[in-house]
Amino acid sequence: MSWRRKEYERDRGRQRRTVGRKWLAMRHVVLVEEPVCMICGRKASTQVDHKIPLCKGGTDTRDNLQGVCDECHNEKTAKDLGIKPPPNKIGLDGYPIPKGDRTNGTNEKECGV
């Protein structure tokens, strides 16, 4: 049995990824049609995401693709792969520190001394 035949039999049941110029053209279409993140709706779309991941039976067709921002793409990819997000940091007062807090986790008010 030749090498190509073995590879064909191994890949026969899987969806092949779209690569090269065809993927770049499809990516361009998605980002032009959906300039704002389809998940958060606040930031510009910079990534193309599969609504149903390829590892779970999704395809590279246009109806399975969406434009998303980097942050939403990273969160969705981690969720799809089963990676738990890091726990929230807890401040000195016992409450979680919101993302983007500038007090560096101290939750202390500045004094005008």
Taking only the tens of pLDDT, the chain with its 113 residues reads: 555 544 544 555 556 777 889 999 999 999 999 999 999 999 999 999 999 988 888 899 999 999 999 999 999 999 988 888 777 788 888 888 887 665 554 544 444 44
CATH for 3-81? 1.10.30
Distance CA 79, CA 69 (A): 15
Read off φ and ψ for residue 108, nearest 5 degrees: -105, 145
Query: Residues 37, 67: contact at Cβ < 8 Å?
Result: yes
* Domain locations in the chain as residue ranges: 3-81
Neighbouring residues of 111: CB distance < 8 A, sequence distance ≥ 6: none
